[in-house]
């Protein structure tokens, strides 16, 4: 079963613009992670935010978490064509490693 629903399903922007993706989930979580998947490849971990954190940064990535709304957002600033990929949120409800992935957002960054 899928825990997270992501919005939008697809996003098309120009290089240099910011991209924002949202994830909503249903149950309480221990942590929430974001992964990237390039076409035909495996997923790559981007960033993790714990349930007691509200915001986290890593390079051009900014993640927020609102546990009261059961939602998270991923912001990619100054996007590049190489950021073109699908982005998934994944929730860990128990802290015991079992991740439940969202439906994903397909991001297309045009040069």
Nearer Cβ to other proteins, position 18 or 38? 38
The site for other proteins (CB under 8 A) is made up of: 2, 31, 33, 35, 41-45, 48, 88, 92, 96-104
Write the CB contacts of 96 (distance below 8 Å, at least 6 apart in sequence).
none
Nearer Cβ to other proteins, position 7 or 13? 7
- Rounded distance between C-alpha atoms, residue 42 and residue 35, angstroms: 10
Minimum distance from residue 14 beta carbon to other proteins (Å): 27
Tell me the CA distances in angstroms from 92 to 10, 13, 30, 51, 97, one per residue in order: 24, 30, 6, 10, 7
Nearer Cβ to other proteins, position 13 or 108? 108
Q: Which residues pair with 88 in a beta bridge?
A: 35
Minimum distance from residue 67 beta carbon to other proteins (Å): 17
Minimum distance from residue 7 beta carbon to other proteins (Å): 14
Tell me the CA distances in angstroms from 17 to 21, 79, 110, one per residue in order: 13, 6, 10
Nearer Cβ to other proteins, position 52 or 97? 97
């Amino acid at each position: 079963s899928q825990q997270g629903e992501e919005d939008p399903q697809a996003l098309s922007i120009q290089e240099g613009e910011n991209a924002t993706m949202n994830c909503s989930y249903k149950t309480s979580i221990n942590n929430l992670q974001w992964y990237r998947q390039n076409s035909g490849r495996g997923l790559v971990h981007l960033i993790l935010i714990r349930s007691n954190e509200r915001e986290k940064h890593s390079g051009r990535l900014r993640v927020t978490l609102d546990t009261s709304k059961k939602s998270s957002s991923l912001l990619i600033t100054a996007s590049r064509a190489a950021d073109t990929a699908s982005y998934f949120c994944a929730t860990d409800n128990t802290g015991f490693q079992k991740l439940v992935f969202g439906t994903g957002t397909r991001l297309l960054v045009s040069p």
